[in-house]
Structure 1
Amino acid sequence: MEAGGETGVAAEHPPRSWAKAVEDVTDGLGLRRLWAHLGWQDVRRRYRRSFLGPLWITIGMAITAAGLGLMYSTIFGEDPAEYVPYMAVGFMIWYFVQGSVQYGAEVFIRNEGMIKQMPAPVTVHVLRTVWREFLLFLHNLVVYLGLLVIFRPPVDWTVLLALPAILLLVLNAGWVVLLLGVASTRFRDIPPVVGSVMQLLFFLSPIVWPVSVLEENAGSQAWLAQLNPVYHFIEIARAPMLGTTQHWHHWVVVGALTVGGWVLALVILRNYRARVPYWV
């Protein structure tokens, strides 16, 4: 009876191990049809009963690029042919980052019913969120193709570097969603704090304001912008997409954040994966 009791306790509360953390990730990836379907349904549900459906994502980005791009190019005294693509691509990347962070902070809270009723790896909900935000990003890429035709930025073979840059964005979205999702189930103050921080990061990131303007006006203090991680994620993707000068230190910073972030996320997954259903 005593041995059976110990076995029952061990089964109810599985021991913390790296094997179980890795198994959760691999099993989640194996359920691709599940999280891919759920992510696509999230996009469709957002525009349910609308005539154009998800095409409103592309239309909204086009309106933002045309309206804000032309207005702020006048304010900053920039050439619209250069500034509009600069701002539009910045917004595309920012929307992906913002969506991953803000929805990631509520990923398990929003899926409380599914978590309690359907036994599945917690990474299924993480992948669902990242996939949904990536689908929205793909819709916005249609506007990018239009910008290439209208403004003809000096794009060359270096545009291929945008592919590993986007891959790094997706990989980092994974650990961010996982880390914030677990933390937010335990501490419910995190989602509103994340919302406030993201508002601040938007104004601190080179999305609306050009980096060249910062360097001209901030002088030796321009290096402070390097402390903003979003700045590096935007630059590794936007530079090749627009054919502008690529600074390799952005790749170094993003690479370090990718490795460090996933190590931290796996530690959290190892220690607190089994507690998520109880916390939600």
Structure 2
Amino acid sequence: MQATAEIERNDAPAAAPSRSWTRAWADIRNGIAQRELWGHLGWQDIKQRYRRSVIGPLWITLSMAITAAGLGFLYSQLFHIPVETFLPYLTVGFIVWGFILGCLTEGADTFITNEGLIKHLPAPITVYALRTVWRLTLMLAHNLVVYVVVLAVFWSHLTQRYILSPPETPNPEWHHGLGWDALLAIPGIALIALNGLWVVILFGIISTRYRDIPQVISALTQLLFFMTPIVWTTDILRSRVGGGDGGWRELVAELNPLYHYIQIVRAPLLGNNMNWHNWVVVLGLTIVGWSLAFLAMRNYRARVSYWV
């Protein structure tokens, strides 16, 4: 009997080591498969946040509408841009920025805030990253209601050619207006959500080990907001240089990766001129980001439960 047991142990397949690409991929695959779990947890997060509120999650939409309207009217006057075109531009920028900001800040705290579940629920850690991304996606969907309202109000201005620079700008760039290319926003949002997942996984693992990282991210996001064309436009940069050529000043936006993420959604939704290099940059960052996330999952996935 002992000899038989020894033979069976020798013939049994060896378990993959904790530091392996196989286990990292299995964690992500199994996490995605448990969609009922992370879907329920993400929805419960929103319900819990607005529990006993009269209008509930509609506060997400209302707060976005108030912010976009207030800043839209203010900055349109400061930049001398018609509010009919600038307010939709700022609104969509804020909507996409809110999702990106959530992935950076809430993503860094994902595993820390889920400490209790990680220690007591035998589930892939990808579940908690998906929980965060799903919650932020639901908030994005709520905020898109504001875009629909703004679109209905300014429909006649957005469906024709318009500019996003002061009227006195020499050789302004004319945007073609809304058309069927607005459907490109759908793969744009999907691509941003895919990137949000690797951001949450990567920064979540790093922040679990080094607790100062969330504070660093929170501080940098303030700078990134003002460096990203959200309340200002690249057309304004271009208009500040004679002849309408922004030159090196346009690099302030072009070298900012967040600009490209926002632009692949904002440009089609507003009928802005589409630059395909925005998609190339985002796709390149997607590949690099997921490579780093897989590396972090391979090396440190098993340690997360000890670090939280």
Q: TM-score, normalised by structure 2?
A: 0.86
CA distance in structure 2 between the partners assigned to 1:205 and 1:238 by the alignment: 13
Residues 14 and 274 of structure 1 are in contact (CA less than 8 Å); yes or no, is this contact kept in structure 2?
A: no
In structure 2, give the amino acid aligned to 1:171: L
CA distance in structure 1 between the partners assigned to 2:59 and 2:252 by the alignment: 37
From 144, 160, 163, the counterpart of 2:186: 163
In structure 2, give the amino acid aligned to 1:104: G
From 45, 50, 56, the counterpart of 1:47: 50
After TM superposition, list the pairs within 5 Å mapping 1:66-145 onto structure 2.
Answer: 66-145=69-148
Deviation, structure 1 residue 139: 0.0
Report the counterpart of residue 63 of structure 2 in structure 1: 60
Residues 206 and 231 of structure 1 are in contact (CA less than 8 Å); yes or no, is this contact kept in structure 2?
A: yes
After TM superposition, list the pairs within 5 Å mapping 1:165-184 onto structure 2.
Answer: 165-184=188-207
Residues 55 and 139 of structure 1 are in contact (CA less than 8 Å); yes or no, is this contact kept in structure 2?
A: yes
Report the counterpart of residue 227 of structure 1 in structure 2: 255
CA distance in structure 2 between the partners assigned to 1:214 and 1:177 by the alignment: 32
Question: Which stretches in structure 2 are left out of the alignment for 5+ residues?
Answer: 1-5, 7-13, 160-177
CA distance in structure 1 between the partners assigned to 2:116 and 2:259 by the alignment: 36
Residues 50 and 57 of structure 2 are in contact (CA less than 8 Å); yes or no, is this contact kept in structure 1?
A: yes
1:32-76, Cα deviation, whole Å (9 max, x unpaired): 000000000111111111100000111111111211111110011
Deviation, structure 1 residue 244: 1.1
* Paired positions, count: 271
1:149-190, Cα deviation, whole Å (9 max, x unpaired): 100122210001001100110000000000000000111110
CA distance in structure 2 between the partners assigned to 1:107 and 1:229 by the alignment: 23
Report the counterpart of residue 299 of structure 2 in structure 1: 271
CA distance in structure 1 between the partners assigned to 2:22 and 2:239 by the alignment: 52
Deviation, structure 1 residue 198: 0.7
CA distance in structure 1 between the partners assigned to 2:307 and 2:153 by the alignment: 51
Question: Matched residues, percent identical?
Answer: 54
Which secondary structure state, in structure 1, belongs to the residue aligned with residue 240 of structure 2? helix
Report the counterpart of residue 248 of structure 1 in structure 2: 276
Which secondary structure state, in structure 2, belongs to the residue aligned with residue 121 of structure 1? coil
CA distance in structure 1 between the partners assigned to 2:247 and 2:146 by the alignment: 36
Question: Which stretches in structure 1 are left out of the alignment for 5+ residues?
Answer: 4-9
Residues 18 and 302 of structure 2 are in contact (CA less than 8 Å); yes or no, is this contact kept in structure 1?
A: no
CA distance in structure 2 between the partners assigned to 1:61 and 1:106 by the alignment: 23
Which secondary structure state, in structure 2, belongs to the residue aligned with residue 78 of structure 1? coil
CA distance in structure 2 between the partners assigned to 1:224 and 1:147 by the alignment: 28
CA distance in structure 2 between the partners assigned to 1:25 and 1:128 by the alignment: 13
Deviation, structure 1 residue 101: 0.7
CA distance in structure 2 between the partners assigned to 1:193 and 1:258 by the alignment: 22
CA distance in structure 2 between the partners assigned to 1:157 and 1:149 by the alignment: 16
Which secondary structure state, in structure 2, belongs to the residue aligned with residue 92 of structure 1? helix
Residues 38 and 127 of structure 2 are in contact (CA less than 8 Å); yes or no, is this contact kept in structure 1?
A: yes
Report the counterpart of residue 207 of structure 1 in structure 2: 230
Q: CA RMSD in A?
A: 1.4
Report the counterpart of residue 289 of structure 2 in structure 1: 261
Which secondary structure state, in structure 2, belongs to the residue aligned with residue 38 of structure 1? helix
CA distance in structure 2 between the partners assigned to 1:41 and 1:214 by the alignment: 43
CA distance in structure 1 between the partners assigned to 2:42 and 2:18 by the alignment: 31
Deviation, structure 1 residue 119: 1.1
In structure 2, give the amino acid aligned to 1:252: V
Is the counterpart of residue 216 in structure 1 residue 220 in structure 2?
no
CA distance in structure 2 between the partners assigned to 1:129 and 1:199 by the alignment: 21
Which secondary structure state, in structure 2, belongs to the residue aligned with residue 246 of structure 1? coil
In structure 1, give the amino acid aligned to 2:231: V
Deviation, structure 1 residue 220: 1.9
CA distance in structure 2 between the partners assigned to 1:15 and 1:140 by the alignment: 41
After TM superposition, list the pairs within 5 Å mapping 1:181-192 onto structure 2.
Answer: 181-192=204-215
Q: TM-score, normalised by structure 1?
A: 0.94
Residues 30 and 124 of structure 2 are in contact (CA less than 8 Å); yes or no, is this contact kept in structure 1?
A: yes
Q: Structure 1 195/144 Cα, relative in aligned 2: closer, same or farther at 3 Å?
A: same
Residues 184 and 265 of structure 2 are in contact (CA less than 8 Å); yes or no, is this contact kept in structure 1?
A: yes
1:189-246, Cα deviation, whole Å (9 max, x unpaired): 1000000111110000011011111122263222232111111001111000001100
Residues 73 and 79 of structure 1 are in contact (CA less than 8 Å); yes or no, is this contact kept in structure 2?
A: yes
